[in-house]
Structure 1
Amino acid sequence: MTNEISLSYRRYALSLLLAVNLLNYIDRQVLFAVFPLIKIDLAISDTALGFLGSAFMLSYLMIAPLFGWLGDHWSRVKLASSGLVVWSLATALAGFAPGYRTLLAARATVGVGEASFGTVSPGLLSDFFPKEQRGRVLSWFYLAIPVGSALGYLLGGVLGHRFGWHAAFLMVGLPGLLLAVPIWLLRTPPRGGESAPAAAPEEEVKPSAHYGTLAKNRSFVWNTIAMATMTFAIGGLAQWIPSFLNRVHGLDVEKGNTMFGAATVVAGILGTLVGGWLGDRWQKKSSKGYLLVSGWGFLIGTPFAAWAILAHDLTACMTAIFVAEFFLFLNTGPLNTVLVNVTPPAIRAMAFAVNIFFIHALGDAISPSILGWLSDHWGLRDALLVTPAMMALAGIFCFVCGRYIERDMRLAEKA
């Protein structure tokens, strides 16, 4: 039980998993920081450039179900550690890529490694803490998204501008190898944490008997749809905003990524922490609390995202980006906490794997290429206007999900 693990060790586990997740997003986002440099060096279209991001997500979502199954049957810490080694080496090896095809293969391999960590880490971390603290704990864990993304932009921009895009990949990839052993040796709580049955040994749990319930779990389905539309929007913006600042506002790679990274890290930290705090607070008053925070965050952020794209003044653009990102990051902890709360402990790794598959298959696995194709035909500014509409849809889907959340949370607790 989690009460047999000391508070200090739980905090250590949170810190370690957060550190790995930071590297996860640094290695993921560094590519987009050097998009302008790769485009010039390899002389490729925006469609081909966008497919570099899509290749990562395609391999990520295709392999995630396998790691989800393994996560419910095998050691989660060994899966997380192995994935860290794979994606760190693949990121570093991208620094030696002589052309487009080898760079594409390296980025696809990064997706395989990150899928291993991404499917098992949220459920693993949740099991260290009581249910009523999960919103805040997962918000701390998902601080890695804005902070890691910002560091990816900053490091990619500075290193790429000064030493070239090959050096940027090499220098951000290698540090991940240092955390592989601590993750491998991490103690693990029982699946389900404090909600785990005291008398039922883990080997008696048969997750396969429950997999079919995910399709019938309406909260899981609508939450996943909301996250997919959000991922389409955020994935497209994350990958193309550095190029947008370069082309539309005339900023070089270092300056553009520094400004975008600074806005992302501040807005992301504030939004993620406020979202976790608000989510836990509202959840005490209503079973829809997490979804209300996320839904309103999406809807309020939508006009600011449109303003950021349409603004001709750089100051107005960056101000709008900051506000939009703040409201977008409100959802980070709450929506992932909803996934934990509406799925039985025995199949949480698989539930996250299924969620990962669909949010990326319908989201940022396709949005970079779609926006790249639209950019080739319409121009980048007009192409990016697709993203605010998707954000508004995500907010609506959150409110639809709220209709079923109370029932599905009760069923998950009984399973």
Structure 2
Amino acid sequence: MALMTPRTGTEAAAAVAPITVDLPVGRVSSRRRFYPWVVFGLAFALLLSDYMSRQVLAAVFVPLGQELDLDKGQLGSLISVVALMVGLLTLPISILADRWGRVRSLVVMAILWSLATLACAFAQSYEQLLIARFFVGVGEAAYGSVGIALVLSLFAPRVHAALSASFMAGGSFGTMIGTALGGVVAVHFGWRWSIGAMAVLGLLLVAAFKIIVTEGRVRRHQALVDTPDEKQAAPATGSARAPLSSLFTNPAVLCAYIGSGLQMFMAAVMLTWLPTFFKEEYSMTVDTAGGAAAFFVLLVGSGMIVCGVIADRVSRRDATRKWTVGIGFCSIAFVSLMIAFALPTGGLQLALMAVGAFFSAGCSGTTAAMVASLTHKSVQASAMGTLTLANNLLGLAAAPFIIGILADHMSLADALKVAPLVYIPAALAMVVGRRMHPRGVAALAALSTAVEK
């Protein structure tokens, strides 16, 4: 056995140095693991504020309309203009945010929509409200896409799917809280205080976000998740990109865009007009109607998550089954809501409305999965931006305004009786998409081969 000679102080330090250097990569301290979750929590809270500011107006349609002498078409346009701006500006603002800095961009967005919401509380006419709501939409336009990009950059890829689903569900929960809380505040203090409260909450949250989340801290924590294995799994940043025109030349993808946008129409109708429906048809007070509508909004958000899980499980062996499941969700929502709004007020109507609400946006995850699977990886972010555009233009922006116009010419109850008919073209788009799916897969394969060359 060889004799072990004692080490000098320098040699001993050198022996343990590699352990100290390797710790940040292999084993992150609990404090550094905690910071990404703080960012997620603050970003999620701002997302709630985003949708609370966007939808609180729906909870106070009745007192607001009475004070400013607005018809239902005008009230609906105040919701539609926000969704329209979100649809048109999401993609260009997301591109700018990647260049300018995501944290800085998110702060500016939140300040803008909060100040614009505060301006709504002081509006004295329809024109002033419309202009203020326009800037609410500009501020909120790309928050969802930039916010989730920031959050995902701080976590390992193995948890990205769960984080994405949780973040997206925040929109429905924010709508639910804004509708319920807005109704309660309006009853006790007036509709202006309901809107002002959302603005103040947004400003407080963005102040906390600005203090805690910085570009420098985010960069340091991004480095911690860049382990060798994760770098190998990530796509090469310098790889060739598919042309943006490929987002519109695949027929199956076009069907997914259309089907998704149309099925969001009825979900938007329920998010916007249920508080007024309960106020008029069930003689509820503003706060009670807001609380009742909030329950149905919760069903819409929960249904999106559950239906997405069902679609994934059913289509494990055959991707085309996602189309079939989507058609099924549209059919259930169509039948439930057509019967519900044809019935007189009562328990049976509410039960069928609950079933319809749960499945009303159930195709959202299905169509998003189809878009992701049928577009080249180099343009998938742009594809999701295009899907957002379709959801807003065909659904979230169109529905409040169209139903408001119909309600002015007949009644809100009669307008809601015909609204579920939109599921027919939505389902037909998915039927065509299912038939075109093999051709879409072949087109993607040919595109990938051309890009690699």
Q: Is the 8 A contact 1:230 1:390 kept in 2?
A: yes
Aligned CA distance change for structure 1 residues 297 and 371 (closer, same or farther; 3 Å) = same
Instruction: Figure out how many residues of one structure are paired with residues of the other and give that number.
Output: 406
Q: Is the 8 A contact 2:343 2:349 kept in 1?
A: yes
Q: Which residue in 2 is equivalent to 1:39?
A: 65
Q: Which residue in 1 is equivalent to 2:22?
A: none
Matches of 1:148 and 1:282 in 2, distance apart?
A: 30
Q: Is the 8 A contact 2:75 2:404 kept in 1?
A: yes
Q: Which residue in 1 is equivalent to 2:176?
A: 150
Q: Which residue in 2 is equivalent to 1:93?
A: 119
Q: Is the 8 A contact 2:83 2:397 kept in 1?
A: yes
Q: Which residue in 1 is equivalent to 2:317?
A: 285
Give the aligned residue type for 2:202. G
Alignment RMSD (CA, Å): 3.3
31-40 vs 333-342, which deviates more?
333-342
Q: How many Å apart are 1:98 and its aligned residue?
A: 2.3
Q: Is the 8 A contact 1:293 1:330 kept in 2?
A: no
Q: Which residue in 2 is equivalent to 1:196?
A: 234
Q: Which residue in 2 is equivalent to 1:357?
A: 389
Matches of 2:375 and 2:158 in 1, distance apart?
A: 16
* 1:241 partnered with 2:267: no
Secondary structure of the residue aligned to 1:362 is helix
Aligned CA distance change for structure 1 residues 413 and 269 (closer, same or farther; 3 Å) = farther
Q: Which has the larger radius of gyration?
A: 2
Q: Which of 248, 258, 276 in structure 1 is aligned with 2:308?
A: 276
296-305 vs 64-73, which deviates more?
64-73
Matches of 2:447 and 2:44 in 1, distance apart?
A: 26
Q: How many Å apart are 1:278 and its aligned residue?
A: 1.6
Q: Which residue in 2 is equivalent to 1:368?
A: 400
Q: Which residue in 2 is equivalent to 1:66?
A: 92
349-358 vs 39-48, which deviates more?
349-358
Q: How many Å apart are 1:51 and its aligned residue?
A: 1.3
Q: Which of 211, 225, 232 in structure 1 is aligned with 2:244?
A: 211
Over the matched positions of the two proteins, sequence identity in percent amounts to 25
**Structure 1, gaps ≥5 residues long:** none
Q: How does 1:74-153 map to 2 (within 5 A)?
A: 74-122=100-148, 136-153=162-179
Aligned CA distance change for structure 1 residues 123 and 255 (closer, same or farther; 3 Å) = same
Q: Which of 379, 389, 393 in structure 1 is aligned with 2:411?
A: 379
Cα deviation 1:200-221 (Å, max 9, x = unaligned): 4x4x4676x6212111133432
Secondary structure of the residue aligned to 1:285 is coil
Aligned CA distance change for structure 1 residues 391 and 32 (closer, same or farther; 3 Å) = same
Matches of 2:448 and 2:156 in 1, distance apart?
A: 13
Aligned CA distance change for structure 1 residues 136 and 395 (closer, same or farther; 3 Å) = farther
Higher RCO structure, 1 or 2 (CA under 8 Å, sep 6+): 1
Give the aligned residue type for 2:68. L
Q: Is the 8 A contact 1:275 1:330 kept in 2?
A: yes
Matches of 1:256 and 1:411 in 2, distance apart?
A: 53
Q: Is the 8 A contact 2:117 2:198 kept in 1?
A: yes
Secondary structure of the residue aligned to 2:310 is helix
Matches of 1:342 and 1:298 in 2, distance apart?
A: 22
The TM-score normalised by the length of structure 2 is 0.78
250-259 vs 229-238, which deviates more?
229-238
Q: Is the 8 A contact 2:372 2:380 kept in 1?
A: yes
Q: How does 1:303-342 map to 2 (within 5 A)?
A: 303-342=335-374
Aligned CA distance change for structure 1 residues 394 and 193 (closer, same or farther; 3 Å) = farther
The TM-score normalised by the length of structure 1 is 0.85
125-134 vs 70-79, which deviates more?
125-134
Q: Which residue in 2 is equivalent to 1:223?
A: 256
Matches of 2:80 and 2:407 in 1, distance apart?
A: 16
Q: Is the 8 A contact 1:130 1:194 kept in 2?
A: no
Aligned CA distance change for structure 1 residues 184 and 412 (closer, same or farther; 3 Å) = farther
Q: How many Å apart are 1:95 and its aligned residue?
A: 1.5
Q: How many Å apart are 1:152 and its aligned residue?
A: 1.5
Matches of 1:80 and 1:133 in 2, distance apart?
A: 23
292-301 vs 11-20, which deviates more?
11-20
Q: Is the 8 A contact 2:376 2:444 kept in 1?
A: no
Matches of 2:355 and 2:101 in 1, distance apart?
A: 40
Aligned CA distance change for structure 1 residues 262 and 363 (closer, same or farther; 3 Å) = closer
Q: Is the 8 A contact 1:135 1:276 kept in 2?
A: no
Cα deviation 1:299-331 (Å, max 9, x = unaligned): 111121123322212322322221111112433
Q: How many Å apart are 1:123 and its aligned residue?
A: 5.5
74-83 vs 216-225, which deviates more?
74-83
Q: Which residue in 1 is equivalent to 2:265?
A: 232
29-38 vs 309-318, which deviates more?
309-318
Aligned CA distance change for structure 1 residues 379 and 294 (closer, same or farther; 3 Å) = same
Matches of 2:432 and 2:181 in 1, distance apart?
A: 40
Aligned CA distance change for structure 1 residues 263 and 49 (closer, same or farther; 3 Å) = closer
Secondary structure of the residue aligned to 2:282 is coil
Q: Is the 8 A contact 1:52 1:107 kept in 2?
A: yes
